[in-house]
Amino acid sequence: MTTTPPAPVLDRLRAVLAARLGPEYDAVAEDADLRVTLGDGYDSLTVMECVSAVEAEFGIEVDLVGDDVRHWFSTTALMARFVADRLEDAAVLGGAGSGGSGGGAHGEGDGA
């Protein structure tokens, strides 16, 4: 798994988030908690909009049950790591980037 996301992933992610969150997002540090920094500007509805936008931009699926969205979508750095890991998984598995075949939470192997 990737520890530092590639710059292109981070750049694309920041562009997607800026489009959703507006100019207030421009000054947000990558490791800043978005709920704390943006307050009501990053409520549960906005989180879901960001999840959908990230899925569309990167061609991945976020499992709202299996993936810990509250954790992975709390900071830009964590989102970028999540996306980079999903893209890496898709490249290794030769799939389209979705984790939709079942098999547990993000970061878990199926052990088979």
| pLDDT values of the chain reduced to their tens digit, one per residue, 112 residues | 546 778 899 999 999 999 999 999 999 999 999 999 999 999 999 999 999 999 999 999 999 989 999 999 999 999 999 999 999 999 998 765 444 433 344 444 444 3
Q: What is the pLDDT of residue 6?
A: 80
- For residue 109 the two structure tokens come to 């192997």
CA 105 to CA 26: how far, in whole Å? 30
Q: What contacts 13, CB < 8 A, 6 or more positions away? A: 5, 54, 57, 76, 79, 80, 83
Q: What is the pTM of this model?
A: 0.79
Q: Measured between alpha carbons, how far is 10 from 99 in angstroms, rounded to an integer?
A: 20
Phi, psi of 24 (to 5 degrees): -60, -30
User: For residues 6 and 3, what is the distance between their CA atoms, to the nearest angstrom?
Assistant: 9
